[in-house]
Chain A
């Protein structure tokens, strides 16, 4: 891997800061996420540097709590989708044949129905609780991960490897761990970053439709929505969570750009 460029350093610094929020957000928050301590859309005052949200809750505290929730949900969803998608994709590439055909057809079919539409139906039907939210996004997303990892594994010659491995009497897992994964790690990590960004925006979109993280828990997408009315009146309230989302997305993209620089290997569809 190349040495990080200047922009990559910026990206890495951003990611580090968000990692701190993910781990310690609520502990850093001066107030609780539910405490109503000011007037709705109140201006900043000592102790409340960012002012108050639409219910008179401390904006800074909500941001810190919301950070953990938003990043946590997206991260969990993406992790699960990779945990499901990568093994399936690799197996499809290694085994080929009917196994590959059936899985690929199934994935193609699922991908034909737009993610937002599928998510909408599932979340509306089952009610949007945190586990349902995370699992729905993860499973829908895993189709894209499957596709990419299958293509990548085929690219590094999974079929040929597999034959050799079989002759040598090695198992599939050994093959995946030793032969395929090391060769495709960097595009997969990059994909992880991109998927994380899109999941993040996707959850924000679901929150906008009232199907994302449910109150009283704070999440950035929901905060943008709840406070959006204020922007028309020239208040900053919705700008903070929107900026938090934007900075994170930019940070991830900067790092991904650096990792992918000079490569033209296939990447998955990005939404």
Chain B
């Protein structure tokens, strides 16, 4: 996930799934119902929260500039706060910023820093800290978020708690942009990232990269009604099997990234619940639009019709996700094009498009690797079987996971990949489909698309934007080089001893902020 782990966003609240309940078997219930009563039980203070998290390594670092995987991201949110937060309903809400105000055209923004917040070392938060922390990602920097911060052309302090921010062109989604998890706030001039100091819910106690950490509650935390537990211990468990065992034996209170194949079995355990969160994470097959035969739109359409999305969703993700329509905007996004018809599995239509391209049959080679996502090679095998019926022969070339992103992605004419999703439709479409983007991984160039994308960005009228975004989704779906068969949910398991757990559209573990939100029931 080093490639794109910027939060994705959805509108609709997708409540936590709860398997192990007394619901009649065979009945399909919207995931939501069971958790409601938990959320109402009164929170309790105290106890030590133990989390088993996958996605850490001994080279981890809590420097906000180089957060690269799930474990450090979760740990960083325990110690530090962001400027804004994405809530469970996908709204951007204030965190260390109290408010923000755009000028006409959304090019110039005025940010107001929260007052009365102190860092763990006693320093009082003001605009200087925010400027310093944002500047860590600007200019000559090693920050992984430098491309996110690049559109910021000027940042200046206009008062003790006021900041003026100027963008290179108007962007109505600036607050969402600031929700990137690299944009964490540290004291002005802070450089000892081996022991980071923040304004967060927990204070650094001990930390061994890739192994474990223990942070204790911040007694002066500024957010009311959060940070319930006395201390939180993170145990890094990268092996899915060991992680699940730790959960089943009650050694940890929550684990992230469940194995899709065994989720249904895990749900039978009465001591835990499975939390299912829909978001923007999607899996795709990328056709390079500059290489034959994919230069022909008919070939692309033939391949798009030759995939059985439902079967893929069922076998690769066990149904924990939703079908994709060859564009990257998730159902949970406020600009999702509801009226765009779903492309079906239609081998005849595939044959038809092959004919249009002047072919009877087609033979292509697909580069596949589990680097794209767990089970990608199996998914490729399913696609191969599907496409056969449409007269398309897909030869699977298995590539090693090591070096996949350097050697195959954006280089092979036809390969598998994934996107972790982005906080807004604009960011997602820009990153992967704007012709000049460095991550335009299908090498697709469509001038109409480019022009409309820039137009939509600066609009402050949501209805008008929705209209244009719907159009953009249609263009990508019909003309683009990516086959997007499915979106995958984020899956966590939590002990029934935990209160306050909800699903969240951004990542596992409630947007990686689970530690400050949950409590241990008495």
Contact = CB atoms under 8 A, between A and B. Distances in A.
Complex contact flag A–B (Cβ < 8 Å): yes
A242 B382 CA distance: 27
Interface stretch (B28-36, B187-195, B239-247, B472-480): B239-247
Interface stretch (A73-81, A133-141, A225-233, A252-260): A225-233
A233 B262 contact: yes
B268 interface: yes
A32 to B, nearest CB: 10
Interface in B227-249: 240-241, 244-245, 248
Interface stretch (A34-42, A143-151, A184-192, A263-271): A34-42
Interface string B354-396: 0000000000000000000001011001100100000000000
Contact of B315 (A40, A41, A228, A232): A40
A115 B186 CA distance: 47
A216 B380 CA distance: 11
Given A54-B261, A127-B400, A229-B262, A40 B318 contact: yes
Interface string A223-252: 000001110110100000000000000000
Given A36-B378, A229-B241, A41 B262 contact: yes
Contacts of A233: 262, 265-266, 268
A214 B245 contact: no
A233 B385 CA distance: 31
B473 to A, nearest CB: 31
A232 B244 contact: yes
B377 A232 contact: no
Contacts of A40: 261, 315, 318
Contacts of B245: 232
B436 interface: no
B381 A34 contact: yes
B221 to A, nearest CB: 38
Contacts of A228: 241
B347 to A, nearest CB: 18
A214 B398 CA distance: 9
Interface residues of B, number: 22
Contact of B377 (A124, A127, A215, A229): A215
A235 B381 contact: no
A72 interface: no
B259 interface: yes
Nearest to A124: B402
Contacts of B315: 36, 40, 55-56
Contacts of B244: 229, 232
Contacts of A230: 262, 265
Nearest to B240: A229
Contacts of A55: 261, 315, 375, 378
A235 B402 contact: no
B382 A36 contact: yes
Contacts of A235: 265
Interface string A84-112: 00000000000000000000000000000
Contacts of B381: 34, 36, 216
B259 A229 contact: yes
Interface string A193-232: 0000000000000000000001110000000000011101
Nearest to A217: B398
Of B241, B259, B261, B268, the most chain A CB neighbours within 10 A belong to B261
Interface residues of A, number: 18
Contacts of A215: 377, 398
A231 to B, nearest CB: 10
A56 B375 CA distance: 12
Contacts of B402: 124, 127
Interface in A13-70: 34, 36, 40-41, 54-56
Interface string B252-274: 00000001011001101000000
Contacts of A36: 315, 378, 381-382, 385
B261 A41 contact: yes
A41 B315 CA distance: 11
B261 A216 contact: no
A230 B266 CA distance: 10
Contacts of B240: 229
Nearest to A214: B398
Nearest to B262: A229
A46 B203 CA distance: 59
A41 B265 contact: yes
A36 B375 CA distance: 13
A233 B259 CA distance: 13
A124 B402 CA distance: 9
Contacts of B265: 41, 230, 233, 235
B48 to A, nearest CB: 25
Contacts of B385: 36
B486 to A, nearest CB: 16
Nearest to A233: B265
B348 to A, nearest CB: 23
A36 to B, nearest CB: 6
Nearest to B311: A36
A216 B244 CA distance: 25
Nearest to B378: A55
Interface string B483-521: 000000000000000000000000000000000000000
A34 B261 CA distance: 17
A230 B315 CA distance: 16
Contacts of A214: 398
Interface string A115-140: 00000000010010000000000000
A204 B96 CA distance: 52
Contacts of A56: 315
A41 to B, nearest CB: 7
A216 B318 CA distance: 19
Nearest to B398: A214
A228 B244 CA distance: 11
- 6 tightest A-B CB contacts, nearest first: A233-B265, A40-B261, A54-B261, A229-B262, A55-B378, A229-B241
25 contacts: A34-B381, A36-B381, A36-B382, A40-B318, A41-B265, A55-B261, A55-B378, A124-B402, A127-B400, A127-B402, A214-B398, A215-B377, A216-B377, A216-B378, A228-B241, A229-B240, A229-B259, A229-B261, A230-B265, A232-B244, A232-B248, A233-B262, A233-B265, A233-B266, A233-B268
Given A55-B378, A228-B241, A232-B245, 17 more contacts: A36-B315, A36-B385, A40-B261, A40-B315, A41-B262, A55-B315, A127-B400, A216-B377, A216-B378, A229-B240, A229-B241, A229-B259, A229-B261, A229-B262, A230-B262, A233-B262, A233-B266
Interface of B: 240-241, 244-245, 248, 259, 261-262, 265-266, 268, 315, 318, 375, 377-378, 381-382, 385, 398, 400, 402
Interface of A: 34, 36, 40-41, 54-56, 124, 127, 214-216, 228-230, 232-233, 235
